Amino acid sequence: MKYAFFPGCVSKGGCPELYQSVKQVYPRLGIELEEMTTASCTGAGVLQEKDLRLGDILNAHTLALAEEQGLPIMTICSTCQGVMSQANHRLTTEPGYLDDVNRVLAEEGLSYRGTTTVKHFVWILLEDVGEEKLRQAVKRPLTGLRAAPFYGCYIQRPSAALGFDEQPARAQSLETVITLLGAEVVDFPGKTRCCGMPLLTINEPGSLQMVAHHTSDAKEHGADVMVTPCPLCHLNLDGLQVKAAKHERREIDLPILHLPQLLGLAMGLEPWALGLKRNLVSTTPVLEKLGVA
Amino acid sequence: MLTTFRIRRFNPEAESPQSYFQDYQLVTERSDTVLDALIRIRETVDESLTLRCSCRGAICGSCGMRINGHAALACKTKVASMVSSGETVHVEPMNNMPVIKDLVTDMAGFWEKIRQVQPWLQPTGPAPEGEYLAAPEAMNHLTGVMHCIMCGACVSDCAALEVSPNFVGPAALAKAYRFVADPRDGNSSSRLGELNNPGGMWDCTRCMECIEVCPKGVGAMDRIMTLRAKGIEHGVPSTSGSRHTEAFADIIEQKGRLDEPMLAVRTFGLTNLRQMLSFLPMIFRALPRGKLPRSGPLHRPIPGIDRIRRLFQRAKEPR
């Protein structure tokens, strides 16, 4: 199980604990990674607002690099996953588009044939590592912990580009992993909704309202913790939770964990190794609940 | 198969009008749509159940409602595709619009926003003797958006509208694109100027709900993104939305990866110091945790940045 590893900008920037925690868990699951150091940012759907073709060229460059290595790509960010999946979908389905983009790549001595698969870590856990191996890796089942999933838009929509037809279990992947780790899934209506991050620049009150709504809703449904496969959602749900609570005049205090942090806890890893002190909303209540504080 | 339909009911004429769920059990066939089932409930179980429908063939756009949490046309949704035997189908009226009764919503606001984008052709110059002509290949890219049947599904599930009711919304913006991108329309700059205002094209949160729920594949959010690109191209006055996009692209061209603090400064600009300062408490919490990303000269470009810069340049060259 070897992958070209695309960490994404935020795991190397605003959420270093994501990079730190995924580095701790992947070798223990039989995964090998080769980090893509020369691949650019996907554009995060933002650069695409200015120039969609430019975004597709940058992502075709990344896809071609992995194709040259003969490796599928592993992402740890819903947004990176979605943007690359959409680019890959356009490149491989729109007639003549791949040729057009390859003409640009050709001057760099590169060509993309359209064969690279891009998989988020949460899909790899279920589709490649497999449930049995994942169960075996659990050394400290998260018994009694009530975890609410929060996906991030880009790993849910548009489903046609994300391979949901071929792999329908992807739509429920977080719930499946949470259950396998021994925790209880807290279902709530906001789990596939927008975290508000893209709205932050243009409508901050609206963005904060979304943060407050989703985190409070999960808590009211009984969640001890929320878990996300998207560091951009994490920036909003964790980073801005205090501001959102103040804005909406309510108390929230819901710890938000990156998926590899939750997984690492179930694997028996030390909280410091998973960067749990770096989360802005204290994760201590989670550790106390698990008896590891 | 035996199916339970849990339907959100609301009667404005009740003594104390309040919405509530009511369960109906029905034997459904493999071929039954949700609309077939609802009509059967109305005709054989409870004649007070109120819904709106007409063509039953996904053409008129009347039977938009939320089925298991997502907007859809009831006539295009097979019961068997939603649930297995014995399971429950949740049926609710569309979101982001007032409910008149049961599953019927008031779409006056929806139509008002459609009118707001002036959904008619506005050519300039002297009128031709015959029709305004356009080459078929110049119109091909508009066929998708012309498939819109105004059902309201995209508006119902729009996350931005939930927090910002003045947002013009995905249906109206898709309609605006239909005219901005029409080669016969002469009013693109003025249209884009209007769409650049608060509540316009920059208020979309890019959640793609509208793409996912559209029964006709209009892809409203993709059209909104094209409107933004056209706005920047036409030089509409900068907003924090457009500054964010421009700064993002510049940073990736220079460094290959995101410089988050630089992006924030360039987006909010020095004109919005108050908003920048409001993030200070978060920054002070992030600092001791080693979470503040490097920026400026301390944030190095990725290895092989020259290639990324060349790709940026080549993308600008004519094809």
Predicted confidence at residue B292, as pLDDT, reads 86
Closest by CA to A22, choosing from A267, A225, A197, is A267
Q: Does A64 touch chain B (CB under 8 A)?
A: no
Closest by CA to B157, choosing from B207, B218, B91, is B207
pLDDT digits (tens, 9 = 90+) for B182-220: 999 999 999 999 999 999 999 999 999 999 999 999 999
Q: Label residue B85 by pLDDT band (50, 70, 90).
A: confident
Q: Which of B163, B249, B289 sits opposite A209 (nearest CB)?
A: B163
Predicted confidence at residue A112, as pLDDT, reads 98
CATH number attached to the domain at A2-120: 1.20.1050.140
- Decide if A237 contacts A244 (C-beta within 8 A): no
Q: Does A168 touch chain B (CB under 8 A)?
A: no
Q: Is the pLDDT of residue A228 over 90?
A: yes
CA B122 to chain centre: 25
- Decide if B210 contacts B152 (C-beta within 8 A): no
| DSSP label at residue B165 | T
Euclidean distance between CA atoms B289 and A60, whole angstroms: 36
What percent of chain A lies above the pLDDT cut of 70?
A: 100
| DSSP label at residue B33 | B
Predicted confidence at residue A177, as pLDDT, reads 98
CATH number attached to the domain at A138-290: 3.40.50.11810
Q: Does A100 touch chain B (CB under 8 A)?
A: yes
Euclidean distance between CA atoms A144 and A183, whole angstroms: 6
B108-233, CATH topology level: Fumarate Reductase Iron-sulfur Protein; Chain B, domain 2 (1.10.1060)
Residue type, A17: E
Q: Does A221 touch chain B (CB under 8 A)?
A: no
pLDDT digits (tens, 9 = 90+) for A14-49: 999 999 999 999 999 999 999 999 999 999 999 999
For residue B285, CA distances in Å to A141, A279, B265, B279, B299 come to: 31, 10, 19, 10, 21
Euclidean distance between CA atoms A232 and A6, whole angstroms: 15
Predicted confidence at residue A293, as pLDDT, reads 76
Q: Label residue B319 by pLDDT band (50, 70, 90).
A: confident
pLDDT digits (tens, 9 = 90+) for A47-66: 999 999 999 999 999 999 99
Query: Which CATH number is correct for B2-105, 3.40.50.150, 1.10.10.10, 3.40.50.620, 3.10.20.30?
Result: 3.10.20.30
Q: Does A152 touch chain B (CB under 8 A)?
A: no
pLDDT digits (tens, 9 = 90+) for A162-195: 999 999 999 999 999 999 999 999 999 999 999 9
When pLDDT is averaged across residues B4-33 and rounded to a whole number, the result is 96
Domain ranges of chain B: 2-105, 108-233, 255-316
How would you classify residue A3: left for phi > 0, otherwise alpha for psi between -120 and 50, otherwise beta?
beta
Mutation target to probe the B interface, by most B beta carbons within 10 A, among A15, A17, A40, A61 is A40
Predicted confidence at residue A147, as pLDDT, reads 98
Q: Label residue B274 by pLDDT band (50, 70, 90).
A: confident
- DSSP assignments along A217-230, one per residue: HHHHTT-SEEEES-
Length of chain A: 293
Q: Does A165 touch chain B (CB under 8 A)?
A: no
Mutation target to probe the B interface, by most B beta carbons within 10 A, among A37, A102, A201, A253 is A201
Across the interface, whether the CB atoms of A40 and B308 are under 8 A apart is answered yes
- A37: chain B residues, CB-CB within 8 Å: 302-304
pLDDT digits (tens, 9 = 90+) for B139-187: 999 999 999 999 999 999 999 999 999 999 999 999 999 999 999 999 9
ipTM over 0.85: yes
Predicted confidence at residue B83, as pLDDT, reads 85
- A9: chain B residues, CB-CB within 8 Å: 257-258, 260
Q: Label residue B272 by pLDDT band (50, 70, 90).
A: confident
Mean pLDDT of chain B: 95
Task: Write out residues 123-182 of B within 8 Å (CB-CB) of A.
Answer: 159-160, 162-164
Q: Label residue A285 by pLDDT band (50, 70, 90).
A: very high
Euclidean distance between CA atoms B40 and B26, whole angstroms: 9
Q: Label residue B269 by pLDDT band (50, 70, 90).
A: confident
Min Cα distance A181 → chain B (Å) is 27
Alpha-carbon dihedral of residues B136, B142, B147, B148, nearest 10 degrees?
-150
Predicted confidence at residue B86, as pLDDT, reads 79
The strand pair at B70-73 and B64-67 is best described as antiparallel
Q: Is the pLDDT of residue B13 over 80?
A: yes
SS (H, E, C) A101-139: HHHHHHCCCCCCCCCCCEEEHHHHHHHHHCHHHHHHHCC
Q: Does A120 touch chain B (CB under 8 A)?
A: no
Across the interface, whether the CB atoms of B249 and A37 are under 8 A apart is answered no
Across the interface, whether the CB atoms of B208 and A158 are under 8 A apart is answered yes
Q: Which of B248, B282, B307 sits opposite A239 (nearest CB)?
A: B282
Q: Does A38 touch chain B (CB under 8 A)?
A: yes
- As given in the structure block, the two tokens for residue B255 are 């460094």
- B245: chain A residues, CB-CB within 8 Å: 46-47, 49-50
Mean pLDDT of chain A: 97
Across the interface, whether the CB atoms of B163 and A210 are under 8 A apart is answered yes
Q: Label residue B277 by pLDDT band (50, 70, 90).
A: confident
Predicted confidence at residue A209, as pLDDT, reads 98
Q: Which of A49, A58, A199 sits opposite B245 (nearest CB)?
A: A49
H-only helix segments in chain B: 34-44, 79-82, 108-116, 136-139, 143-146, 153-156, 159-163, 170-180, 188-195, 209-213, 220-233, 240-255, 260-268, 273-277, 280-286, 305-316
Predicted confidence at residue B18, as pLDDT, reads 95
What percent of chain B lies above the pLDDT cut of 90?
A: 85
When pLDDT is averaged across residues A194-206 and rounded to a whole number, the result is 95
B20 or B87, higher pLDDT: B20
